[in-house]
A and B are shown apart, each in its own frame.
Chain A
Amino acid sequence: MSALLQLTNVNRSFGGVHAVDNVSVEIEEGTIFGLIGPNGAGKTTLVNLVTGYIRPQSGSIKLLSPPPPASEKGSNSPPPLAGEGRVGAAVELARRPPHAVAGMGIARTFQTLRLYRNLTALENVLAGMHLRRRDDTLQQLIPIPAFLKEDRRRWQHARELLARVGLDPDKFGNRQAATLSYGDQRRLEVARALALNPHLLILDEPAAGMNPAEKDRVRALIQQLNQDGLTVLLIDHDMRLVMGVCRHIAVLNFGRKIADGPPATVSQDPAVITAYLGSQAQKTAAHVPGSEEMDVAATSTAVSAEPTSPLLEVRDLQVSYGAIQAVRGVSFGVAKGEIVALIGANGAGKSTILNSLSGVLRPHSGVARFGELDLTTAPPDRIVSQGLIQVPEGREILARLTVRENLELGAWGRSNGRSAHRDIEGLMKQFPILGQRRDLPAGQLSGGEQQILAIARGLLAQPKLLLLDEPSLGLAPQMVDTVFDVIKKIHNDGVTILLVEQNALRALEIADRAYVVETGRILLSGTGAALRRNPEVQKAYLGG
């Protein structure tokens, strides 16, 4: 087996951050290559480097003498115009515009769906065929049968592609892409990529936010494509999926490649476990694959430990974005003084739950009350003034305002300016990093500092309940420790906290109780301690 794509010492940094740090990877012809790593590890950046959306600052990305594209049955359309580069010696991809890279036969899908929403499914696929069809624009202006025949053949082929990814062309072909279900949209994006007739297909989180059934279909599809002779580069969070289908896996963390090899070895690699379960993981790593038999009673008792008179009460909450149902009936509660954690893989719907509590999203149905306040209808400013404060994912600090101004805005709802001022001064003593940088634009703070600023800003609104969304997201381990120390501290100061984390073990450490969320449902619940010992949790993260 010869290598198809070869990355050597590729570097790319944004500002000070090394998004991709001296990475070298080699993808073999005909394999399914997995690229994994926690959020912010630089996976998508790497894909963008390969496909020409971002230019590497150094290093080379070579496409090595591949065979001519596998011509698909039913298609007699000529090879791409840009196809010359394909056969023969290695081609340097770096610094080529995306459409040229596509011309080399490299197709991709996007982490955040990028379909042509207002076009029909078939039109999407046809657009994907762009490079494969002769430019007969002028002929098409005069629609004499001879010319139309070719057009009809194209439509026929588009229908075949839809069928191939498991979309019934008669049922979905003429539906607007935006109206398809989330899973179908993912599938459609694959079909569009296939229309290029590529020999390297890059799938960026094709299964994100899918339910198990859908995921299985995605897995089947990937394997099918691979058998048809397609080389696949698969990026995903879902270990079950990646471990299941990939022959070879590379793991990124903070832009560096920390592991590279067959699934079995990688899943045992301590560095990988650390990266995924958090720095404390080693301690527990010993009894990772459910060495202690977890007794179901433990969890069930934990479940019965639901608060009787909760400060926050959520019952059968359902939220959807258009066609995509992100939260499928979730119930839980938070009692005064607790830290409650929602854990689960990326795209499980945790953040969506928080957003629908803070009034940023409107739930589809269900109950969410905070004291007397009905969160499903109350306007956000009302919710905040009642003391339910969200510290959003990605911090959302106001980059162009100074640290101090960010804090002052944190006290927006408060009438008594003087006391607010005292608190601000207090916080800046409490968190010296903020004190020292008070007059800098918040955008210039490091990720961790921004997170602390965001939390401090939240505290200034005098929260009765603080919603923390992924506070450790994209932070270096030592920074994660600092942030969690801060969280403990403010909890000890008497703030009730609802914490959403993908860094499960860290979250479970400080949480009184926790709920494991998967694909919009609550899978498990129990005390932090109980769940930490629960192998199910490990599986949810590292796959079985």
Chain B
Amino acid sequence: MDFFIQLFTDPVGFYNQHELLIAQIGINAILAISIFVTFYSGQLTLANAGFMAIGAYTTVIMSLYLPTPLPVDMLVGALLAAAIGFLVGLPVLRLRGVFLAIATIGFVEALRLGVILNLPITGEGQGLKNPSADPLGGIVPILISVPILTYLVWRLTHTRLGQAWAAIREDELAASSNGINVPAYKMVAFVISALVAGYAGALETHINFFVDPTEYSVTRTIQILTFAVVGGTTNVIGPIVGAVFLTALPEIVRQFAAYRDVVNGIILILVIIFRPQGIVGRGGLAIIAPRWWTRWRTRERAAAAH
């Protein structure tokens, strides 16, 4: 509780004492944006943690071995993530629903356990120390990035591209009848999502001093997923709210000490059951329940009828 008390009575003190928390919230918000982009185009992909890893490791390795300035490192990291996103997308985006989700999970774990843990340059199990880390300095680029990215993605959803995504999400067949090249636009969404995730990964190394494989497991992706689902995915604000809420939650429920996770779990269930459309948003989970699904449900209403 005193968490809130301080937040309102002494915001400055609150900021000073929680810079890192705020920074983390920022990172998670960016990740939420990244998963939002794929959701918005009706795809349930869970590869974000993998792209984070790529962004993070690239940044750190470059600042370890190359004289390039940090911003360049981070840029390269993000771009590399996007590039790999494209390559992964080629085979994977043909899949739908749960299958797409699981395939991307497979990618994340294969990357972490199969690749990162076996490349000497990634420091294998020990991970890598980021020489140019600066936690309190690192918060600045984050606090700048969040609003910019939010704004861009929010605009994006209102452009030709965004409307095409929405159309695909709602009904792929109808979309193609409107002349929308469905596979192409799905890929664009996937790559943008990868780019953003990679950028988030790069930013995070900046406040965390250190990258190690355990950071980029499925657990992380699932966490990002919960941001989106709990926050609601009808517009870009939803996932961000989810990220803020769930990142601050451990602090908020700190007084439950040992049983924090129990409280976390209960809250998760309550939100999903009593507000399936997420904290924010009107269309409900419709974004990840494309039309063919809802139609199928109504056909199946029998199952839930009594």
Report if A and B touch in the complex (beta carbons < 8 A): yes
B178 x A118 contact (CB < 8 A): no
A116 to B166, CA, bound (A): 8
Q: Are A99 and B180 touching (Cβ within 8 A)?
A: yes
User: Chain A's nearest CB lies how many Å from the CB of B191?
Assistant: 14
**Which chain A residues numbered 110 to 124 have a C-beta less than 8 Å away from chain B?**
110, 112, 114-119, 123
> Are B181 and A99 within 8 A (Cβ)?
yes
Residue of A nearest to B156 (CB): A141
Q: Give Cα A305 to B181, complex, Å.
A: 60
- Given contacts A114-B173, A130-B178, whether A140 and B155 have CB atoms under 8 Å apart is yes
Contact A130–B286 (Cβ < 8 Å): no
Contact-residue bracket for chain B: 35 or more
Q: How far is the CA of A127 from the CA of B185 in the complex (A)?
A: 13
Return B40 CB to nearest CB of chain A, in Å. 11
Query: Smallest Cβ distance from A371 to chain B, in angstroms?
Result: 19
Contact A131 B171 (CB under 8 A): no
State the majority secondary structure of interface residues on B: helix
Q: How far does the Cβ of A463 sit from chain B's closest Cβ, in whole Å?
A: 18
CB–CB B159/A99 < 8 A? no
User: Is A98 located at the chain interface by the 8 A CB criterion?
Assistant: yes
List chain B residues, Cβ under 8 A from A256.
Answer: none
When A80-B179, A98-B176 are in contact, do A360 and B301 touch as well, CB less than 8 Å? yes
When the two chains form the complex, which single residue of A110, A117, A362 contacts B294, counting CB atoms closer than 8 Å? A117
Besides A99-B180, A116-B170, A119-B167, 18 other A-B contacts (C-beta < 8 A)? A52-B176, A53-B176, A82-B179, A98-B176, A99-B179, A99-B181, A102-B176, A107-B177, A116-B291, A117-B170, A118-B283, A119-B170, A127-B180, A137-B160, A140-B160, A359-B302, A360-B302, A379-B306
Q: Which residues of A contact B159 (CB under 8 A)?
A: 136-137, 140-141
Asked if B305 lies at the interface with its beta carbon under 8 angstroms from chain A, I say yes
Q: A80 CB to closest chain B CB, in angstroms?
A: 7
A398 at the interface (CB under 8 A from B): no
Least distance between B99 CB and chain A CB atoms (Å): 19
Q: Closest chain A residue to B289 by CB distance? A: A118
B 157-175 to A, binary, CB cutoff 8 A, 1 in contact else 0: 0111111101100110111
| A138-162 Cβ-contact flags toward B at 8 Å (1 or 0) | 0011010000000000000000000
A110-B174 contact given A117-B294, A380-B305, CB 8 Å threshold: yes
A130 adjacent to B163 (CB under 8 Å) = yes
Assembled-state Cα–Cα distance A265/B207 (Å): 81
Which chain A residues border B161 with CB–CB below 8 Å?
Answer: 135, 137
Closest 7 CB pairs of A and B: A102-B179, A379-B306, A116-B170, A131-B179, A98-B176, A114-B174, A140-B159
Chain B residues with Cβ under 8 A from A362's Cβ?
A: 305
The residues in A between 378 and 436 inclusive whose CB is less than 8 angstroms from any CB of B are 379-381
